[in-house]
Amino acid sequence: MKKTAVVLTLFLSFSVLGQKLSQNEKTKRWEYVQVFEIPNTPPKEIYKRILNNYIPKSDVIQSKIENEKIVIRYNFRMGTFKYGILTETFDIKENKLRWKIHNIVYLKAVSSLSKQKELDVTGDKKIIKKMNKLLPDAVKGVQDKIVSAGSDSDDKW
């Protein structure tokens, strides 16, 4: 019964949010923010799930405050001749996780002449569209590796 309620809540929250980058009203920076409810889960457990299940390599960690916050930054492929660099911030509280994607930089046609461009400065609509296409998979990754991880622990038999 708990699982059904959690799945329904997640489905509704994903539908409402639309999983798209938005421009922060105050800072005018492009970002994506989502708060996940993780019932009956202390900060220590959420923190452990992020470190053990989500972060691929320790060298992507920019900073961390035990059981409170983790910030990672890494490169990723956006498609043919397009690469990005972004920051993910995980703010952890009792039964909650706020996940934020921000500080997005991209590279087109990678060569020795290529220059990094900040999405916040350019507002490149093609890159925003590409990021919005990639967001559902990113959200699913957080959902699978952090939010839902270990939720079957109540089903011991």
What kind and span of H or E run contains 130? helix 125-142
pLDDT tens for 58-100 read 899 999 999 999 999 999 988 877 889 999 999 999 999 999 9
What kind and span of H or E run contains 127? helix 125-142
Q: What is the pTM of this model?
A: 0.81
User: What's the mean pLDDT when you consider all of the chain?
Assistant: 85
Q: Label residues 24-49 b or e (16+ Cβ within 10 Å = b).
A: eeeeebbbbebebebeebebebbbeb
Question: Residue 4 pLDDT more than 70?
Answer: no
Rama region for 133: left / alpha / beta (φ>0; ψ in -120 to 50; rest) = alpha
Question: Residue 21 pLDDT more than 90?
Answer: yes
pLDDT tens for 100-110 read 999 999 987 66
The pLDDT value recorded for residue 151 is 53
